[in-house]
Chain A
């Protein structure tokens, strides 16, 4: 069964769970960061609690780097990277990992494409060798490309077509970004996915997959010097095949008009309001803005104590749920999301009015010392909880470095959150939660037309 819907994926990402954060400085102090002669960056996060390692490679390429007309290509290539090389044919890598009982997977965002394995420490050299081999050695034939394209279309059906909320999220992003490719779904627009082919995938692969466009993160029972030596022996021999080109995507103009849209779908049984505001990410922000937005998202709509939930769900009884979230880990300006589901008897415009009032009050009166402290405590604790998981840490560092941040910025995240003031949160709300920067989407039940059978 597919457990993860697109909506969940979007929420997960937007909720800042991939945000750059780090534990106490003692942890950051242990993190090593170096670059091989061929341009490959490495991050090593020693963690000796168990003889396990997590090995990840992050390519600095995602859906926002695709050419117009080829949407979905970054993600399609991610699927195809499991189809084997001349040296290690299809299935060899995955079966080797399976035999060890290891875990592997891959994921694609607008900014990066990443692959990982979790195995026993002893298996790390083999993982590095195989990952280095498929960095430039991928072999594709239509025999494997075409069925995989069908798999991706079924993935699209599972995540998006079968799920009205995911369809709404797609529409909001597309309307929010007037010029920047973040408006394009990572999985692609279906008519374009259907046309992707072997040549597209290989051209994209040759253009973006190479040592000077990748970051390897190794977390676990290893020392930096060991990893450096292993990397030299494996990744070190992969030759550069292109020069780095700055990641300059078309940027957004100054937003000028609040936009709104309504998606009606016969399957909607619970109407929903979603709003996205165009706001800075960590990398695209002036110093301090992103941290203030992170705290703001949590005070406004992060959980049961948040302003939106307390006001709209608990006190006024207008909504069954309400919240907000922010994902700062993107290269270019990102989305601050606000959402709610009205109770029976509340219309979407009434709920929207309620949401607006909560935001207006925060801008007008600012926030209290207690809610600020509570929120910061919880956010900073996340970075201590993360110390418990090499996978989480590997994702934070990899996600940060592939979206223009530095190891240092991950390490100092808790103290930057600590230094956010009540005034900064209010200012962030005033500056960024401006309706002209936003798209508001309604998801409603389509009752107008008789259902038509698909042919």
Chain B
């Protein structure tokens, strides 16, 4: 039977869906994760965490690239390529490939984001060799056979058709399109109903050839293996890829359209809102201060200002959040809520006024202390499983934070002062927002 979670932002249902993994040592102050930087015989770097308690092997990786590599007017290539990597490779057709995955209970997933194609491989120790071989084939010799391409293209198009009447998807698409006109980030990762039919097998091969390389690759392994074995594994999977990726540069850009509100008419009982503004990049010296104030405004716990004002006190929405999003070419804050049509204007006004209040006065000392405490504790408690650790290690490499980041992180948070957060709250929240609203919100209209 259906289970309903109290708070969607925390996603207990998502938790139900995930098979969490474990680890020998969590990144807790008491017992830090021990990460080895391994350089393989072929010179490929992988970060390794050894764990022998559960008989499971996790490998995760990211190739810089993603939908930002899609040509203007033809989005969806990176996405479709990612969806086809497990649909036949080398001598194995789609059917055989899928049967071998299932026959050894291997979990292999690829995802395409704006900046990267990422992958996650998980197997029982006893099937590690088979898992590694299937991943090698998928990345080095994807087939893109016509029947598979047409089948997966059909699935992508079916999803895109559904999105055309899904308020959440429309609100998000409109936001990115308005914020980044003419920029790769303004295009949809999943492509469009117009672009996806035009994608050819050559487009997909070209994506794989340019993006799956060693120069733009980050890898992490968590498992019961030593450094030499880890080196052999990454050489086997990634060693034959081109040394150098050929990436289209992604121009730096700030979100446009600030101050605009775009209302899209859709006959739904609830208006879905996406709001965002200029963020702070991961390398900015003020990043940690921004992380703290963003948490205070709309972060993950059940006690953010927006949660308290919009949900707890007034019951205007089930979910509301606001977070920092950082990409290679931009940084934004991005928030969302869904609220009844006759109260949408009230919710929007509250979001504006709470944001302004935080910009003007900054956090209170109590909020500041609680936020720091939360952000330190949550990071450690969030690293309780092998795949979460592997994911964190890949992200730290993408963000170029250093192999000692987990050890340094608490000190970086502690170094932020209340004054810093007041200054950064102003910097972050003083400016205007770009807002998209989908539904039939009473008295809320588009404005330029």
Binding site for B on A (CB under 8 A): 1-4, 6, 8-10, 12-13, 17-18, 47, 49-52, 62-64, 75, 78-79, 82, 91, 94-95, 97-111, 116, 118-120, 146-155, 157-159, 161-163, 182, 185-187, 266-270, 303-305, 310, 313-314, 317, 320-321, 327, 330, 334, 341, 343, 373-375, 377-378, 380-382, 384-392, 395, 451, 453-454
Determine the chain A residues whose CB is within 8 A of the CB of B166 once the complex forms.
162-163, 267
Determine the chain B residues whose CB is within 8 A of the CB of A148 once the complex forms.
315
On whether the beta carbons of B6 and A99 are closer than 8 Å, the reply is: no
A101 to B10 Cα, complex, angstroms = 13
- Chain B nearest CB from A315 CB (Å) reads 10
- Chain B nearest CB from A90 CB (Å) reads 9
On whether the beta carbons of B56 and A385 are closer than 8 Å, the reply is: yes
A231 to B384 Cα, complex, angstroms = 24
On whether the beta carbons of B21 and A389 are closer than 8 Å, the reply is: yes
On whether the beta carbons of B313 and A2 are closer than 8 Å, the reply is: no
A50-B23, A107-B13, A381-B105 given; A269·B162 CB < 8 A: yes
Determine the chain A residues whose CB is within 8 A of the CB of B167 once the complex forms.
162
- Cβ of B177 < 8 Å from any Cβ of A? no
- Chain A nearest CB from B246 CB (Å) reads 31
Question: Which B-chain residue is minimally distant from A115 (CB atoms)?
Answer: B6
A101 to B165 Cα, complex, angstroms = 37
Interface residues of B in 1-27 (CB under 8 A from A): 1-8, 10-26
Stretch from B68-76, B153-161, B395-403 at the A interface: B153-161
A151-B318, A157-B338 given; A9·B3 CB < 8 A: yes
On whether the beta carbons of A186 and B1 are closer than 8 Å, the reply is: yes
Beyond A50-B28, A155-B8, 17 extra complex contacts between A and B, CB < 8 Å: A4-B14, A8-B17, A10-B2, A13-B16, A49-B26, A50-B25, A50-B31, A78-B6, A108-B3, A110-B2, A154-B317, A162-B338, A163-B166, A185-B2, A187-B4, A268-B165, A304-B102
A407 to B95 Cα, complex, angstroms = 38
Cβ-closest 3 pairs across A and B: A101-B377, A389-B20, A150-B315
Determine the chain A residues whose CB is within 8 A of the CB of B385 once the complex forms.
388-389
- Chain A nearest CB from B3 CB (Å) reads 4
Question: Which A-chain residue is minimally distant from B104 (CB atoms)?
Answer: A377
Determine the chain A residues whose CB is within 8 A of the CB of B30 once the complex forms.
51
A101-B379, A107-B5 given; A451·B267 CB < 8 A: yes
On whether the beta carbons of B303 and A4 are closer than 8 Å, the reply is: no
Determine the chain B residues whose CB is within 8 A of the CB of A182 once the complex forms.
1
A453 to B345 Cα, complex, angstroms = 18
A119 to B30 Cα, complex, angstroms = 14
Q: Which of A79, A95, A391, A453 contacts B20 (CB 8 A)?
A: A391
A9 to B2 Cα, complex, angstroms = 6
- Chain B nearest CB from A72 CB (Å) reads 10
A98-B301, A107-B4, A109-B3 given; A18·B268 CB < 8 A: no
A82-B302, A266-B267 given; A12·B16 CB < 8 A: yes
On whether the beta carbons of B301 and A107 are closer than 8 Å, the reply is: no
Q: Which of A105, A149, A389 contacts B22 (CB 8 A)?
A: A389
On whether the beta carbons of A453 and B440 are closer than 8 Å, the reply is: yes
Can you spell out 17 A-B residue pairs with CB atoms less than 8 angstroms apart?
A: A91-B303, A104-B10, A106-B6, A107-B3, A107-B4, A150-B315, A150-B340, A151-B315, A151-B317, A154-B315, A158-B338, A159-B4, A304-B98, A305-B98, A320-B158, A341-B158, A377-B104
A214 to B167 Cα, complex, angstroms = 39
On whether the beta carbons of B303 and A147 are closer than 8 Å, the reply is: no
A179 to B301 Cα, complex, angstroms = 40
**1/0 contact string of B341-357 vs chain A (CB within 8 Å):** 10000000000000000
Interface residues of B in 233-273 (CB under 8 A from A): 266-270, 272
On whether the beta carbons of A454 and B269 are closer than 8 Å, the reply is: yes
- Cβ of B201 < 8 Å from any Cβ of A? no
- Cβ of B164 < 8 Å from any Cβ of A? yes
- Chain A nearest CB from B60 CB (Å) reads 14
A111 to B3 Cα, complex, angstroms = 9
A32 to B385 Cα, complex, angstroms = 23
Stretch from B183-191, B282-290, B368-376 at the A interface: B368-376
- Chain B nearest CB from A76 CB (Å) reads 10
Determine the chain A residues whose CB is within 8 A of the CB of B380 once the complex forms.
101, 120
Number of interface residues of B (CB under 8 A): 98
Q: Which of A10, A118, A149, A303 contacts B102 (CB 8 A)?
A: A303
On whether the beta carbons of A162 and B272 are closer than 8 Å, the reply is: yes
- Cβ of B42 < 8 Å from any Cβ of A? no
Determine the chain A residues whose CB is within 8 A of the CB of B161 once the complex forms.
269-270
On whether the beta carbons of A186 and B315 are closer than 8 Å, the reply is: no
Determine the chain B residues whose CB is within 8 A of the CB of A103 once the complex forms.
10, 378, 381
A158-B338, A451-B267 given; A186·B2 CB < 8 A: yes
Determine the chain A residues whose CB is within 8 A of the CB of B55 once the complex forms.
384
- Cβ of B82 < 8 Å from any Cβ of A? no
Determine the chain A residues whose CB is within 8 A of the CB of B333 once the complex forms.
none
Question: Which B-chain residue is minimally distant from A108 (CB atoms)?
Answer: B4
On whether the beta carbons of A386 and B2 are closer than 8 Å, the reply is: no
Determine the chain B residues whose CB is within 8 A of the CB of A327 once the complex forms.
1
- Chain B nearest CB from A380 CB (Å) reads 8
A251 to B83 Cα, complex, angstroms = 44
Determine the chain B residues whose CB is within 8 A of the CB of A106 once the complex forms.
5-6, 12
A99-B373, A100-B373, A388-B22 given; A1·B162 CB < 8 A: no
On whether the beta carbons of A155 and B379 are closer than 8 Å, the reply is: no
On whether the beta carbons of A388 and B162 are closer than 8 Å, the reply is: no
On whether the beta carbons of B374 and A99 are closer than 8 Å, the reply is: yes
On whether the beta carbons of A454 and B312 are closer than 8 Å, the reply is: no
A154-B316, A388-B386 given; A109·B1 CB < 8 A: yes
On whether the beta carbons of B4 and A378 are closer than 8 Å, the reply is: no
On whether the beta carbons of B3 and A18 are closer than 8 Å, the reply is: yes
A4-B13, A17-B16, A157-B269 given; A51·B315 CB < 8 A: no
On whether the beta carbons of A269 and B22 are closer than 8 Å, the reply is: no
A100 to B381 Cα, complex, angstroms = 9
Determine the chain A residues whose CB is within 8 A of the CB of B95 once the complex forms.
305, 310, 314
Determine the chain B residues whose CB is within 8 A of the CB of A388 once the complex forms.
19-23, 54, 56, 385-386
